[in-house]
């Protein structure tokens, strides 16, 4: 166990907390409010934010799409320069928040914004950012990651810098009430896989992180089982669980996998598969392929999360239980968005991963291109 841990985002959790924005953003800031396709106008969140910012000077930028593109966010970067923006407020789910993070960092770069993704631009400052979360899933509201797509080339790739960790995040579960069931389920599945990526590796002896991971996984199982009886508590528990799943704490001092995410991003880039659903397609096949290395941890998960009884095939039964969890939520674990030739699809994904240099994935960097091909042959 060796790690440095900080999460500096102030969380304002609970009903009515949007009013905290008034004091959370300096009164002399020149604010750019960034949001998506307009859901915030239907659930009252926009009006509450406008009210909280009534004595601030602010502008707005809308139209951030799911899986935000560099092309769209470049327009926001132009607005930042034109209006002398000094503070960014993102209102939405992972896409809006990630897009806003990209703007916060790339706006201070004189070259092409994509340099932030390639690493050609290494920022040493970014505009300050605040968040109002409307879709719990990604944990983006208090982490230092962002994922952006370049439309021109269909590339989807992440970036990481502590400079874009939001200064504050408002988590009001009431904002979730207009979420379509599909997005709620996406949130559940994404949070679940985030925990898995930081847990299903090898036993570490780190009792705090491993125990907490199991608690979060059990929460998500209960929320899935009670999906049809959603009340205020249900929404609040999903919002807080999804946040904790990817705020940096769980992954401190333990190995990480993330191979399902790396492969899943290509399914989204190529066939617009929802992020969470791309993970449900890849992960069961990946776990079956990597079962020997992950056996001890899968057995632990089978015992502690699914309460399965011991047997020689406990790891296999645990993977079956994970797949059954997705199926219970009516989430496909096979690619249905692509109807063309399967081998062509696999080749297209391999090409994209190769171009990024993502040819050694997983906690041991043991998932090489031939292994990825085998996993995809099973998953697609």
Whichever of 174 and 190 has its CB closer to Zn ion, that residue is: 190
Residue 209 to residue 223: CA distance in whole angstroms: 21
Q: Which of 179, 11, 22, 165 is nearest to 100 (CA)?
A: 165
Among 20, 29, 32, 36, binds ligand NZQ (CB under 6 A): 36
- With CB atoms as reference, the residue minimizing the distance to ligand NZQ is 36
Residue ranges in 85-104 that form contacts with ligand NZQ under rule CB under 6 A: 92-96, 98
Query: Segment 123-142, which members bind ligand NZQ (CB under 6 A)?
Result: 134-135, 137-140
Please, which of residues 39-58 interact with ligand NZQ by CB under 6 A? Answer: 39-40, 43
Assign residue 145 a region (left: φ > 0; alpha: ψ between -120 and 50; beta: otherwise).
Answer: beta
Give the helix/strand (H/E) hosting 301: helix 291-304
Of the pair 167, 374, the CB lying nearest ligand NZQ is at 167
Look-up of token digits 């989204």: 268
| Distance of closest approach, residue 134 Cβ to ligand NZQ, in angstroms | 4
Query: Per rule CB under 5 A, is residue 190 in the interface with Zn ion?
Result: yes
Q: Does residue 246 bind ligand NZQ (CB under 6 A)?
A: yes
198 lies in the site for ligand NZQ, by CB under 6 A: no
Sheet containing strand 30-35, strands side by side: 10-13, 168-171, 129-133, 87-92, 30-35, 57-61
Pairwise CA distance, residues 186 & 138, whole Å: 10
**Residue 318 binding partner per list ligand NZQ, Zn ion, none, with a CB distance cut-off of 5 to 8 Å that depends on partner kind:** none
Helix residue ranges, H only, 128-180: none
**CB under 5 to 8 A by kind: which of Zn ion, ligand NZQ, none does 38 bind?**
ligand NZQ
CB of 18 to ligand NZQ, least distance (A): 13
156 vs 278: CA distance, rounded Å:
13
Nearest CA to 218 out of 235, 195, 198 is that of 195
| Contact map string, positions 170 to 189, toward ligand NZQ, x by CB under 6 A | -----xx-xx---x--x---
Antiparallel, parallel or unpaired: β 155-160 and 145-150: antiparallel
Residues making contact with ligand NZQ (CB under 6 A): 36-40, 43, 66-67, 92-96, 98, 134-135, 137-140, 143, 145-147, 175-176, 178-179, 183, 186, 190, 246, 261, 275
Residues making contact with Zn ion (CB under 5 A): 190
């Amino acid at each position: 166990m060796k790690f440095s841990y900080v999460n500096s985002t102030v969380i304002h959790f609970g009903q009515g907390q949007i009013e905290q924005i008034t004091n959370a953003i300096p009164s002399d800031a020149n604010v750019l409010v960034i949001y998506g396709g307009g859901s915030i106008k239907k659930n009252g969140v926009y009006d509450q934010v406008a009210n909280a910012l009534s004595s601030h000077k602010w502008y707005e930028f809308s139209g951030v799409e799911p899986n935000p593109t560099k092309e769209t966010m470049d327009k926001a970067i132009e607005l930042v320069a034109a209006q002398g923006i000094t503070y960014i407020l993102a209102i939405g789910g992972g896409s809006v928040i990630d897009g806003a993070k990209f703007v916060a960092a790339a706006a201070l770069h004189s070259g092409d914004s994509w340099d932030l993704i390639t690493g050609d631009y290494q920022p040493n400052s970014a505009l300050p950012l605040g968040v109002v979360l409307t879709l719990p899933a990604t944990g983006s509201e208090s982490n230092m990651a962002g994922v952006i797509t370049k439309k021109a080339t269909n590339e989807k790739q992440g970036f990481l810098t502590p400079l874009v960790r939001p200064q504050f995040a408002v988590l009001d579960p009431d904002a979730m009430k207009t979420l379509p069931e599909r997005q709620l389920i996406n949130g559940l599945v994404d949070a679940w896989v985030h925990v898995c990526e930081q847990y299903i590796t090898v036993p570490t002896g780190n009792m705090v992180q491993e125990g907490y991971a199991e608690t979060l996984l059990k929460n998500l199982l209960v929320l899935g089982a009670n999906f049809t009886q959603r009340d205020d508590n249900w929404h609040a528990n999903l919002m807080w669980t999804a946040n904790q799943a990817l705020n940096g704490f769980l992954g401190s001092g333990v190995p990480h996998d993330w191979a399902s995410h790396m492969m899943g991003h290509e399914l989204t880039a190529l066939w617009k598969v929802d992020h969470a659903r791309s993970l449900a397609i890849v992960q069961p096949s990946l776990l079956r392929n990597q079962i020997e290395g992950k056996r001890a941890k899968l057995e632990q998960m089978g015992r502690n999360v699914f309460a399965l009884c011991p047997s020689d095939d406990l790891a296999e039964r645990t993977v079956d239980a994970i797949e059954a969890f997705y199926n219970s939520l009516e989430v496909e674990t096979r690619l249905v968005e692509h109807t063309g030739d399967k081998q062509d699809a696999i080749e297209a994904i391999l090409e994209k991963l190769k171009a990024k240099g993502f040819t050694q994935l997983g906690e041991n960097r043991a998932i090489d291109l031939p292994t990825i091909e085998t996993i995809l042959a099973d998953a697609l």
